[in-house]
């Protein structure tokens, strides 16, 4: 790390970004390798999914409209129904394949970045091979954590849908109803951002501590306390940048068909580069935030304890328990 961990509790919004960029530029060789081998494919998978999904779903809507205009029970309608069934099956299969590859590259990228920053902090040798070797040791914990957070997001959205349904039945679209809807929308966004912040920190907890799933999420939630405002603001800003890149890619490449091919390619490359940079920055920041929150709660991860945890990934020691991280308060 570029500064003593015990002093990291005083980092604010700009301090966290500054610290993250200092790490990225000081160790740009290893982070460039991680970007080229992991984050670039992850970004390509995401953008390809956007384009292919829109094309495939557009076909589904097209055949659905034709079915609605076709006389019921005719051979032509039956052919259209068979066609749309195939379109839906293809769409679902594509989404499943996308989800698997996106999850793999996402988890591998997370573990590689977190391991790299932890190695930098403990002054250990930093190589892509060792970072990739950590994946085999932690992928199960990261998958369990991902599934738990996915379930949490699903339940959260179901509850939000129920609240919206109740609003539509009881209040409706009047001046008071719209004001209530605005409040509900704001509360939903705040809750969603908070869940995202907990999830991102839980990934680091799963990587550096003997925790996974709900346990990692609970630990993450405890760490965020005291730095809740900082975590929410940073997560919100990164989310805004993420959606802006999606919007740019969607508007320029998928909708503005009258523009030239060269402009589309240039815009696509720009979106790809921006997304690669943003994803790397998000992974680095979530790791820095972990150390900031640990420092705030005086749960200092000493070099010796963290070094032993990293040695676990190379099979040198038994797993270091999370209770053993509060040592070496001076680094």
pLDDT per position as a tens digit, 164-208: 888 777 776 677 777 888 888 889 999 999 999 998 899 888 888
- 300 burial (CB, 10 Å; 0-12 / 13-18 / 19+) is buried
Q: What is the pLDDT of residue 184?
A: 86
CA distances from 79 to 55, 74, 76, 103 (A): 21, 9, 5, 36
Contacts of residue 195, Cβ cutoff 8 Å, sequence gap at least 6: 149, 152, 153, 156
**How many angstroms separate the CA atoms of 210 and 216, rounded?**
9
Yes or no: say if 53 and 95 are a contact pair by the CB < 8 Å rule. Answer: yes
Mean of pLDDT values over 55-60: 80
Q: What is the pLDDT of residue 319?
A: 37
Q: Which two tokens stand for residue 269?
A: 């490359």
DSSP three-state, residue 301: strand
Q: Is the pLDDT of residue 231 over 60?
A: yes
CB count, 10 Å around CB of 83? Answer: 16
Contacts of residue 252, Cβ cutoff 8 Å, sequence gap at least 6: 259, 263, 264, 267, 268, 271
Q: What is the mean pLDDT of the chain?
A: 79
Handedness of CA 63, 64, 70, 76 (dihedral sign): positive
Nearest to residue 59, comparing CAs of 81, 79, 87? 87
Give the tens place of pLDDT for each residue, 21-31: 998 888 888 89
Greatest distance between any 2 Cα atoms in the chain: 79
Is the pLDDT higher at 30 or at 329?
Answer: 30
Helices (H), the chain: 13-26, 28-34, 40-68, 75-121, 128-133, 135-170, 175-208, 213-224, 228-249, 261-296, 303-312
Overall pTM > 0.85: no
> What CA dihedral angle connects 85, 90, 92 and 97, to 10 degrees?
170
Q: What is the pLDDT of residue 283?
A: 93
Give the tens place of pLDDT for each residue, 232-281: 999 999 999 999 988 888 776 655 555 666 777 777 888 899 999 999 99
């Amino acid at each position: 790390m570029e500064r003593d961990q015990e002093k990291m509790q005083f980092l604010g919004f700009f301090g966290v970004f500054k610290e993250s960029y200092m790490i990225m530029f000081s160790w740009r060789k290893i982070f460039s390798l991680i970007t080229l081998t992991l984050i670039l494919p992850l970004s390509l998978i995401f953008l390809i999914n956007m384009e292919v999904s829109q094309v495939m779903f557009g076909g589904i809507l097209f055949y659905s409209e034709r079915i609605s205009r076709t006389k019921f029970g005719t051979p032509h309608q039956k052919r259209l129904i068979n066609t749309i069934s195939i379109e839906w099956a293809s769409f679902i299969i594509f989404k499943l394949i996308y989800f698997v590859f996106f999850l793999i590259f996402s988890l591998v990228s997370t573990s590689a970045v977190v391991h790299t920053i932890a190695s930098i902090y403990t002054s250990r040798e930093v190589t892509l091979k060792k970072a990739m070797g950590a994946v085999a040791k932690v992928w199960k914990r990261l998958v369990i954590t991902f599934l738990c957070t996915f379930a949490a997001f699903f339940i959260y959205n179901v509850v939000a849908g129920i609240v919206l349904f109740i609003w539509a039945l009881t209040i409706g679209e009047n001046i008071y109803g719209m004001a209530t809807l605005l409040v509900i929308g704001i509360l939903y966004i705040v809750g969603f951002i908070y869940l995202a912040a907990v999830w991102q920190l839980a990934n680091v907890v799963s990587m550096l501590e003997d925790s996974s799933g709900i346990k990692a999420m609970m630990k993450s939630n405890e760490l965020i306390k005291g730095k809740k405002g900082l975590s929410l603001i940073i997560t919100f800003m990164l989310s805004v940048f993420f959606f802006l890149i999606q919007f740019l890619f969607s508007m320029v490449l998928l909708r503005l068909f009258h523009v030239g091919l060269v402009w589309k390619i240039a815009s696509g490359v720009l979106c790809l580069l921006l997304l690669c940079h943003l994803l790397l920055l998000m992974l680095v920041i979530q790791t820095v935030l972990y150390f900031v929150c640990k420092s705030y709660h005086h749960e200092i991860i000493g070099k010796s304890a963290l070094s032993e945890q990293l040695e676990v990934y190379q099979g040198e020691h038994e797993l270091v328990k999370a209770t053993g991280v509060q040592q070496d308060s001076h680094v």
